[in-house]
């Protein structure tokens, strides 16, 4: 549990620093005279540098564990923050976004593997706790931007380098545990497959379905993270600070839902959680762009709470399909999630410049319908494993 809590705290720090970037978009849009497509390119740069590297990091460390790579990753994030605080041109923002993305690409595959090693067999709980830290960090980003950065300007981003330094120290301690305890436990453990005798082609097909679910979930969430504030400002005339509070409410609900999904999946299976979370929000998502401000806020919280319970279940389901490649699977799914989120943000930004942000939100409301492909997932139940 101390290792899991430390990982959760570091995930909070990592994703807090990641989420500062989109939380600052309204300020950066004004300061640098950006179009929506340029904002989308910032998100794309951040998410693609993260997503492209993650599977390779996971594949490499499956064979050659690198316990002290975690503080190195946080070091990249630290440099990215310094550049974000001092950037004077749009190109500087892109480089800062790329460095922060690289830090995330190193953090997620290794930390997800360590969380599984420290789980004591409660893989869903461990992943949910770990993911909850990240989502709490993401939800705090808009608040930190509203209270610290907006009143003081872009340079105040530099204050968060202290948070990154704290993360480096804690991750160094986690790396020491991994080196002295975790690697030995990993080598001694016997991987247990949840799918039994399923043929390899079937396993690949199930992984494709799971990636399709990640696509549906993360493009939809990307529309909120990057553009929900602009939607509220244009449709209801709220201030930037008020819009950030609404985004915080959505992201806070995402954090709460993430924690719920893992333990429920441990008890009742991954498939019911996946189906209930992604398919269950369809009517709420379709209705949201047409409602009043109050109901928009309420439904955004419901959507965040229900939808977010899926990712831990999806990730553990995938890890149980390929238990000998935990790092690769974690890197693939985290990387794909970030990649489609970044690409989606860029495409949505381009569309918003042409048809308006309100119209784009109405289009995105149909994305959860893609979650119906979860009906093709078998309800596999893992063998009990105390690793």
pLDDT-above-90 percentage for the chain: 5
Q: For residue 356, is it within any domain?
A: yes
Q: Tens digits of per-residue pLDDT, 106-162?
A: 887 777 777 777 766 666 677 777 777 777 787 787 778 778 877 777 788 888 889
Burial environment of residue 25 by CB neighbours within 10 A (0 to 12, 13 to 18, 19 or more): buried
Q: For residue 387, is it within any domain?
A: no
**What are the residues whose beta carbons fall under 8 Å from the beta carbon of 137, sequence distance 6 or more?**
11, 12, 13, 14, 15, 16, 17, 18, 19
Residue 325 is predicted with a pLDDT of 73
Number of domains in the chain: 1
Q: For residue 198, is it within any domain?
A: yes
Q: For residue 229, is it within any domain?
A: yes
Residue 119 is predicted with a pLDDT of 66
**Domain CATH for 235:** 1.20.1250.20
Please give the C-alpha separations between residue 201 and each of 197, 271, 321, in angstroms, as whole numbers. Answer: 11, 20, 12
Q: For residue 381, is it within any domain?
A: no
Distance CA 259, CA 252 (A): 11
Q: For residue 386, is it within any domain?
A: no
Distance CA 187, CA 177 (A): 15
Average pLDDT over residues 280-294: 89
Residue 295 is predicted with a pLDDT of 92
Q: For residue 258, is it within any domain?
A: yes
Q: Tens digits of per-residue pLDDT, 315-369?
A: 778 877 877 776 677 777 777 776 777 777 778 888 888 888 888 888 888 988 8
Between these two residues, 91 and 53, which has the higher pLDDT value?
91
pLDDT at 380 over 70: no
Average pLDDT over residues 187-204: 62
pLDDT at 177 over 60: yes
Structural domain containing residue 260? 2-376
Q: For residue 263, is it within any domain?
A: yes
pLDDT at 70 over 70: yes
Residue 95 is predicted with a pLDDT of 92
């Amino acid at each position: 549990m101390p290792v899991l809590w430390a990982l959760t705290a570091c995930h909070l720090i990592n994703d807090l620093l990641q989420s500062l970037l989109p939380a600052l978009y309204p300020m950066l849009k004004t300061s640098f005279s950006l179009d929506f497509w340029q904002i989308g390119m910032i998100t794309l740069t951040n998410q693609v540098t993260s997503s492209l590297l993650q599977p390779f990091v996971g594949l490499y460390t499956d064979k050659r564990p690198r316990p002290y790579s975690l503080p190195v990753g946080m070091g990249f994030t630290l440099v990215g923050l310094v550049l974000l605080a001092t950037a004077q041109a749009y190109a500087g923002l892109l480089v800062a976004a790329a460095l922060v993305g690289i830090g995330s690409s190193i953090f997620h595959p290794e930390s997800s593997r360590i969380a599984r090693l420290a789980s004591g067999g409660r893989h869903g709980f461990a992943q949910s706790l770990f993911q909850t830290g990240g989502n709490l960090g993401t939800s705090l980003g808009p608040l930190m931007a509203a209270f610290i950065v907006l009143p003081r300007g872009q340079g105040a981003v530099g204050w968060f380098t202290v948070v990154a330094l704290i993360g480096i120290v804690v991750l160094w301690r986690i790396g020491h545990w991994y080196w002295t305890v975790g690697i030995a436990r990993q080598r001694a453990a016997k991987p247990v497959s949840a799918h039994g005798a399923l043929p390899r082609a079937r396993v690949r097909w199930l992984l494709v379905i799971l990636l399709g679910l990640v696509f549906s979930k993360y493009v939809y969430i990307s529309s909120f993270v990057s553009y929900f504030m602009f939607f509220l400002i244009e449709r209801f005339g709220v201030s930037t600070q008020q819009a950030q509070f609404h985004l915080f409410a959505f992201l806070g609900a995402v954090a709460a839902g993430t924690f719920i999904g893992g333990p429920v999946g441990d008890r009742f299976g991954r498939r019911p959680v996946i189906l209930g979370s992604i398919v269950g929000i369809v009517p709420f998502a379709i209705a949201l762009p047409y409602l009043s401000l109050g109901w928009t806020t309420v439904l955004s919280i419901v959507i965040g709470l229900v939808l977010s319970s899926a990712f831990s279940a999806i990730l553990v389901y995938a890890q149980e399909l390929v238990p000998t490649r935990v790092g690769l699977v974690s890197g693939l799914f985290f990387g794909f999630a970030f990649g489609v989120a970044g690409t989606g943000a860029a495409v949505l930004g381009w569309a918003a410049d042409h048809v308006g942000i309100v119209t784009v939100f109405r289009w995105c409301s149909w994305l959860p319908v893609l979650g119906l492909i979860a009906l093709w997932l078998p309800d596999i139940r893992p063998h009990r494993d105390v690793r």
